[in-house]
Structure 1
Amino acid sequence: MTGIWHASTPVCAARPNPGASAGRLTDAQREVSSGKDGKLVAVPVTIGAIGAVWNDTAVKKSGLKRPTTWPEVLRFCRAAKDKGVVAFALGLKDAWVDQLVPYALTASLVYGPDPDVTQQQLDGKAGFATSRWKEAMDKYLDMRDAGCFNKSPSGTGYEEQMQLLGKGKTLGAVHVLSAVASAKQYATSDTTFSMTPFPATDNAGDTRLPVAVGISYAVNARARQPQLAREFIRFLASEEGQNIYAMKAAAAPALPNASFKADSLHRTDNALTEQRLSSAVVALAESAVHP
């Protein structure tokens, strides 16, 4: 995980020589791509995010409006339940999923308002129990009590969660950006998806979206064919490599470049999912500060 990412810091377009690109990585990208000595050891390939992933088709059918504030989230859940549909799929049988709602909430409650909180914790000047992390966990419970989730989340796995989302049995899921690629496997060809920041406060203007490097690649020091491995790394650092990976992973390239056309992604199969998600992340990455 990265800290606060100052995404407005210039990032150069990827070039065939990854060293040329490395000079203009953001501080956060360099931090997670370097060793303890500060030497760059990996090439970041995608940018990921955690937010509300929506089955657009199901939301439209429900007639409900996506929430933009915390009170609206709870009303949205109750309204969805009244219509006989679940608001958000949750699959806690795969334990890693349990972190996603809290991370989506703390972006607005903790790390957005106070980007230095992690360092304060390391210095012993702040703790989780005395921070707004507690508020985030309480709101997680509020969502449970409002009927926001499917029955038996602890007995629901990730793939089952994606089935619920893809088939429109739930309207959305608080999840990572790349979950769309999984949900699409269970959706009809005309189903579209989108992502919005997940609200945590009464003011929509305070909502933040956690964004970070998603996938990175490095060469094993004991690689049997280091020359070929380095060639692959150079390809991943190129515009072509970054863009292909982003489209396949339903993400955005870690190294933005002029040839990445988010609005033209997957036109051939009429899927607009990656267009919307990648466009949102690219826009956020160029203009905002994110935890």
Structure 2
Amino acid sequence: MTTTITTPYGFSSTATDVAQGIDLAGRRAIVTGASSGLGTETARVLAGTGAAVTLAVRDVAAGERVATEIAEATGNRDLRVARLDLADPESIADFTTAWRGPLHILVNNAGVMACPEQYTEQGWERQFATNHLGHFALTTGLHAALAADGAARVVAVRSSGHQLSPIVWDDIHFAFRPYDPWLAYGQSKTANVLFAVEATRRWADDNITANAVMPGAVYTNLQRHTDGGRGSGSVPAELIKTVGQGAATAVLVATSPLLEGIGGRYFADCNDAEVLDRRGAPLLGVARYAVDPAGARRLWTLSEGMLAAGPGH
């Protein structure tokens, strides 16, 4: 039976709180989507632990501004900004090919939410392409660097939105069913959790662990396509987190000694989440289909095939 992981932290804990006493000097981290919101806060706190942090961003100028601010706030000048467009396989390939040396922490934070119907040139639905396939290609492309560390951690910043939809295997890209931005978002988030499950299994011999984390309800640029983030139902005011609180679970999973060797899990409010067979309390729990090992293996194989096939598939 799997042991539930509990920590001293919870809903109100901040990223700064959970990083107290953590020393990552000599370690290297990548944070995607680090030019705003949760990504910026995650990068700032990791830099504060002494880690060398790469901000992987679409807007390099914005990333440079953030890097300067982080350096001034933390005193850590070991910061790098690199362009990364998760919807563009060539951009991802450029990023992974350019990487040199080991990688200790990869925080897959970037994403899009409930955007209008859009497709990449490959014919992939944009939310699935960005939130899942982009990070899949990035992480697998960095596998050798992660393996070189000997105890690397991958953090998938996900959402309770995964409860909106499982993977619809026969029509992932809405070729036949009417496009629904929230269902598309939901299945992309389910895919992120499944990825963590299978990456941990496949890469166990490399001592690479991957976990999914739910930041909570935090209003950032992610909600730009929604009614203030309330398009799928309003969140009670008492459940809204600050950016610092929202980044806490990702930073905890990326750095805490309590999580050493732990992978394939879903964390919320800095603790292991309950596996659900029906929708539960808002923002808590992980749907059983999102941590299903068979589904995780199926998605991995499907993702490899889609990336190999290229345009039109």
Q: Same fold (TM over 0.5)?
A: no
Calculate the TM-score normalised by the size of structure 1: 0.28
Greater relative contact order, per chain length (Cα 8 Å cut-off, separation 6+): 1
Higher Rg of the two aligned structures: 1
Calculate the TM-score normalised by the size of structure 2: 0.27
